[in-house]
């Protein structure tokens, strides 16, 4: 897209009701309708890496359905994300459900292609396995990236049943492969029982800091966002959000729920506090609609994607005006 071209926005809801027509993310155009995008929203319907409840392969489309109600102006960030940048729905990456290694390769190749067009990625999972190929691809473009990982769990375990690629292991693999900047790694929303204290020792050795769910409650979203922003600085930042970072009251539709989580309000406020950060791509994973009720989880995920998209579109606009 040339800098003077006006981004094509969502379907006009004063003419076509929000519940009508195809459910692209936020009723935005498809990527093939606009050619290239500053931010491509892409689904990854893959859940062969889960250790407990399956079903996140249906997450992307559930989030798209729930995103019909997103409106064009975001007052919390004082920005119209779909006017600042071309955001488009790139459809789904078709991955092999029977071969995890092949699926990981497919996601990586698709991400390479999209990032190669200059787009930032807003990925809708799928289970957390997909963060590894996405991080590989992002690091190929930007070098090792800072990571904010919102999750009840560490996801830095080594293997499950001998498998190295699972939804509980992507960030250990990413550290081993050198695709993360180990001076700027944080988990946020961590809680729940572990296999042993060694899990925390190993995680710390990899370079992760931890902001627990209880820390967020005690210190508040603003202070937590300040701390995360200082840790990340202006490094290229990848944000990975496992929807189970939220309490099951706010996100029941997920594979490995843990009590005592953040509220959706806390998550959204922390993200809004990261407005100066250089978010180069992001994912939202582990939305499993079969366990959802009244779209509670999908609505939370769609609003989370909206805040992430706004962060990225503001950064795109700043970079364009600086050129
Ligand atoms: Mn996870």
Measured in angstroms, how far is the CA atom of residue 256 from the centroid of ligand 1? 9
Contact 318, 276 (CB under 8 A): no
Measured in angstroms, how far is the CA atom of residue 150 from the centroid of ligand 1? 8
- Give residue 323's pLDDT: 83
- Give residue 146's pLDDT: 98
How confident is the model over 231-247, as a mean pLDDT?
98
Tokens in use for 83? 């006017």
What whole-number percentage of the chain has pLDDT above 70? 99
What whole-number percentage of the chain has pLDDT above 90? 98
Q: Report whether pLDDT(37) > 70.
A: yes
Measured in angstroms, how far is the CA atom of residue 155 from the centroid of ligand 1? 6
Measured in angstroms, how far is the CA atom of residue 243 from the centroid of ligand 1? 8
Q: Report whether pLDDT(242) > 80.
A: yes
Measured in angstroms, how far is the CA atom of residue 167 from the centroid of ligand 1? 6
| Reported confidence tier of residue 4, pLDDT bands at 50, 70, 90 | low
Give the pTM: 0.98
Instruction: List, for residues 109-152, the tens digit of each pLDDT value.
Output: 999 999 999 999 999 999 999 999 999 999 999 999 999 999 99
- Give residue 226's pLDDT: 98
Q: Report whether pLDDT(58) > 60.
A: yes
Residues 126, 105: Cα–Cα separation, whole Å: 15
What is the overall mean pLDDT for the chain?
97
Instruction: List, for residues 277-292, the tens digit of each pLDDT value.
Output: 999 999 999 999 999 9
Q: Classify residue 252 as exposed, middle or buried by CB count within 10 Å of its CB (0-12, 13-18, 19+).
A: middle
CA atoms 28, 282, 126, 110: torsion sign: positive
How confident is the model over 1-10, as a mean pLDDT?
75
The string of DSSP letters for 140-186 reads HHHSSEEEEEE-SS------BTTBSSSTT-HHHHHHHTT-EEEEEEE
Measured in angstroms, how far is the CA atom of residue 283 from the centroid of ligand 1? 11
| Reported confidence tier of residue 5, pLDDT bands at 50, 70, 90 | confident
Residues flanking ion ligand 1, Cβ below 5 Å: 128, 151, 155, 242
Q: Report whether pLDDT(1) > 90.
A: no
- Give residue 112's pLDDT: 98
Measured in angstroms, how far is the CA atom of residue 207 from the centroid of ligand 1? 18
- Give residue 129's pLDDT: 98
Q: Which residue has the tokens 């805040």?
A: 307
Measured in angstroms, how far is the CA atom of residue 4 from the centroid of ligand 1? 40
Measured in angstroms, how far is the CA atom of residue 69 from the centroid of ligand 1? 26
- Give residue 299's pLDDT: 98
Measured in angstroms, how far is the CA atom of residue 77 from the centroid of ligand 1? 27
| Reported confidence tier of residue 159, pLDDT bands at 50, 70, 90 | very high
- Is omega for the bond preceding 126 within 30 degrees of 0, making it cis? yes
Residues 267, 274: Cα–Cα separation, whole Å: 11
Measured in angstroms, how far is the CA atom of residue 245 from the centroid of ligand 1? 8
How confident is the model over 54-66, as a mean pLDDT?
98
């Amino acid at each position: 897209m040339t800098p003077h071209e006006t981004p094509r926005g969502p379907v006009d809801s004063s003419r076509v009701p929000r519940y009508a027509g195809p459910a692209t993310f936020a009723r935005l155009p498809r990527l093939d309708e606009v050619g290239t995008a500053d931010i491509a929203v892409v689904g990854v319907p893959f859940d062969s890496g889960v250790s407990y409840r399956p079903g996140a392969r249906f997450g992307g489309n559930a989030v798209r359905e729930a995103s019909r109600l997103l409106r064009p102006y975001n007052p919390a960030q004082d920005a119209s994300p779909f006017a600042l940048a071309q955001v488009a729905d790139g459809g789904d990456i078709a991955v092999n459900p029977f071969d995890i290694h092949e699926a990981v390769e497919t996601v990586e190749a698709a991400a390479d292609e999209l990032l190669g067009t200059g787009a930032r990625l807003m990925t809708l999972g799928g289970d957390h396995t997909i963060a590894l190929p996405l991080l590989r691809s992002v690091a190929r473009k930007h070098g090792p990236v800072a990571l904010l990982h919102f999750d009840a769990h560490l996801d830095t375990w080594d293997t499950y049943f001998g498998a190295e690629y699972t939804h509980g292991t992507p960030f250990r693999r990413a550290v081993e492969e050198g695709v993360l900047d180990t001076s700027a790694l944080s988990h946020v929303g961590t809680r729940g029982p572990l296999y042993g204290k060694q899990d925390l020792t190993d995680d710390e050795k990899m370079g992760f800091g931890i902001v627990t769910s209880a820390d967020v409650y005690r210190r508040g979203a603003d202070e937590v966002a300040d701390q995360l922003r200082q840790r990340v600085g202006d490094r290229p930042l990848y944000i990975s959000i496992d929807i189970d970072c939220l309490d099951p009251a706010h996100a029941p539709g997920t594979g490995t729920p843990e009590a005592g989580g953040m509220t959706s309000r806390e998550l959204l406020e922390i993200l809004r506090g990261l407005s100066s950060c250089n978010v180069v791509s992001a994912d939202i994973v582990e939305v499993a609609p079969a366990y959802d009720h009244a779209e509670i989880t999908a609505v939370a995920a769609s609003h989370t994607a909206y805040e992430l998209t706004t962060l990225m579109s503001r950064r795109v606009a700043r970079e364009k005006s600086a050129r």
